[in-house]
Amino acid sequence: MKTTRINLLGSRKDSEKIEAVLLLARKIILLYAILFVVFVVIILGLSFQQSRTLQPLLLEKASHLSFLNSRKDQEAKLSYIAKKVKALDTFILDDARFLPYYELILKALNVSTGSAALSSLSIDKERAVNFTITYQDQQTLLNSFENIESPQFLQNFEQLKLAEFASRQLQGGTNYQLSFQGIFRKSSQ
């Protein structure tokens, strides 16, 4: 007769160990499943929120694009005008802007020197100036030195120096010439 040996004590201990391990495994799997579901729900919720945010933005974008499309012609003209004006403002910097400085020096000379004649004047786009004043008599010349050195006259220049002093004997008397070189201060005109 075949006998089955049962060691109840030994197998009970093994069963308990296995049962404990399996219980832990079941708990881990359950927790894992719960976390997975929670994670998916959260992500889907955030995605739904995103689409709620994006929808009005896309509608606004479509509206603006439609408006700009309807005003394409106007915008093209504005762009053309603005580019031409930008070019104009660049090119105009090449101009010596002679007239305001010319009028400035005539006004200053009248104030400073009384009677004197401007024989020559050159101004360039960097505001560099060369001018020559002619005097018919010595007294006017001497008076003019004081006025030319006055702050009222000099305030118009960044720098100014006397380049040449000449006198010429003419039939009617002596002719005096003062030649200056300098740089004008930038005029606001």
Partner 1 sequence: MKITPHTKTVIKKNLPYFIVIIPLVIMTIFIPPYLINRYVEGSKKIDTTQQELIKLRTQVDILNSVDSGAENLDEDVALLSQLIPNFEDYFSIIYTLDQISTKTNFLIASYDINLKLSTNEKLALSVTGVGNEDAFLNFLKEYNFGGGRLITAEKIAVASQLAGTTIDLNFYNKKPSASSDPSLDYQYSLDRAREIKNKIGFTLAGKEASAEALTESYPTKSNPF
Structure tokens belonging to residue 78? 């504005």
* 9-33 burial: b if 16+ Cβ within 10 Å, else e: eeeeeeeeeeeeeeeeeeeeeeeee
Closest residue by Cα to residue 106 from 118, 97, 115: 118
Closest residue by Cα to residue 117 from 171, 170, 184, 178: 178
Q: Is 115 in the site for partner 1 (CB under 8 A)?
A: no
Among 8, 46, 170, 171, contact with partner 1 (rule: CB under 8 A): 46
Question: By CB under 8 A, which span of 111-119, 137-145, 156-164, 169-177 interacts with partner 1?
Answer: 111-119
What CA–CA distance (Å, rounded) separates 27 from 25? 5
Shortest approach of partner 1 to residue 17 CB, angstroms?
A: 12
Shortest approach of partner 1 to residue 99 CB, angstroms?
A: 4
Shortest approach of partner 1 to residue 25 CB, angstroms?
A: 7
73 versus 151: smaller Cβ distance to partner 1? 73
Q: If you write DSSP's letter for every residue of 18-41 in order, what string do you get?
A: HHHHHHHHHHHHHHHHHHHHHHHH
Q: Which residues bind partner 1 (CB under 8 A)?
A: 15, 18-19, 22, 25-26, 29-30, 32-33, 36, 39-40, 43-44, 46-47, 50-51, 53-54, 57-58, 60-61, 64-65, 67-68, 71, 74-89, 91-92, 94-96, 98-99, 102, 117-125, 130, 134
